[in-house]
Amino acid sequence: MHINYLPLAAGRLRYLDNQGNGPLLLFCHGNSSAAEAFSAQFEALGERYRIIALDFLGHGGSEPARNPQQAYSFAGFAQSLVDAVELLGLDRYFVIGHSLGGHAALEALPRLHGLQGLVLVAAPPFNANTAGQTFSPDPSEGLVFQAELDLQQVGRLAAAFVNPARLSAPLLAQVEAGIHATDPQVRSQLGACLGAGGFADECQLLRDSAVPTLLLQGQADGFIDWQYCAAADSFAGCNLSVGLFEDCGHNPHLEQPQRFNDLLDSFVAHTLRKMS
């Protein structure tokens, strides 16, 4: 695993790169997480793929953003993704975006030149009309958008992110460490942005792009209504299929990594076959 940095306008961004061969998978983590959340994917898929995982600004080993009000928004994280793709010189790649990372990828779609396929992990496309159907009442009771968190609150937020019964103690500690390492302004600025309607019509962006898309969704995700995601007409006009994870929370890549990796691997192989 190689650790490298990219000089973005808003701050220095850290990323992990296995420098492997094969199709390129670009992983983007969620709010208050980090690139290390995809360790199981590096381990299981690294021999067949080149894998890059970003630390968004304000997360993991990346710098806090110099302009948090702009950078810590869906549009701001989308810009970081676009800038990273350009600086890395990527021309053919798949993006796997978890939660915030998935929504950033959706907002960036018109500018992600060379994108071959998109995997949304607990990140169903939504707009102002469908947000109420897509999302459930916040199981963290506001902690997901609260700046400063004490140790007890970090533990509560981690337990809202995952099904704790699915994770070993070290993995749950990793989730908590990701929350600890996050610039507190990320959460508060994201909350302010979403509260003000600072998001695009992701459904229309996905329809316009026609990019092959896979949504991976836990059925025990307290943040998202999985039944809405599974309904046949929820994403009409999008080239999107859905994979569900029984008894799984907001982090299927951590909670059920083997099935997650199998579905991701199959999606990439199927998409590339159709393109050939």
Domain that holds residue 193: 2-275
pLDDT band at 208 (very low <50, low <70, confident <90, very high): very high
User: Quick check: 165 pLDDT over 90?
Assistant: no
- Residue 4 DSSP label: E
Q: Take residue 33 and report the two structure tokens written for it.
A: 């997480």
What one-character-per-residue DSSP string does 124-162 give?
Answer: ----TTTHHHHB-S-TTTTGGG-S---HHHHHHHHHHHS
For the chain, strand residue ranges (E) read 2-8, 11-17, 24-28, 50-54, 93-98, 115-121, 213-218, 240-245
Average pLDDT over residues 84-93: 97
d(CA 242, CA 33): 23
pLDDT band at 21 (very low <50, low <70, confident <90, very high): very high
Q: Take residue 272 and report the two structure tokens written for it.
A: 């590339």
What domain count does the chain have? 1
pLDDT band at 79 (very low <50, low <70, confident <90, very high): very high
What are the Cα distances from residue 135, in Å, to 18, 28, 100?
Answer: 35, 20, 14
User: Quick check: 88 pLDDT over 90?
Assistant: yes
pTM of the entire structure? 0.97
Q: Give 29-64 pLDDT, tens digit per residue.
A: 999 999 999 999 999 999 999 999 999 999 999 999
CATH of the domain at 18: 3.40.50.1820
For 125, half-sphere exposure in the C-beta direction (CA atoms, 13 angstrom radius) is 30
Q: What is the largest CA-CA distance in the chain?
A: 52
User: What's the chain's average pLDDT?
Assistant: 96
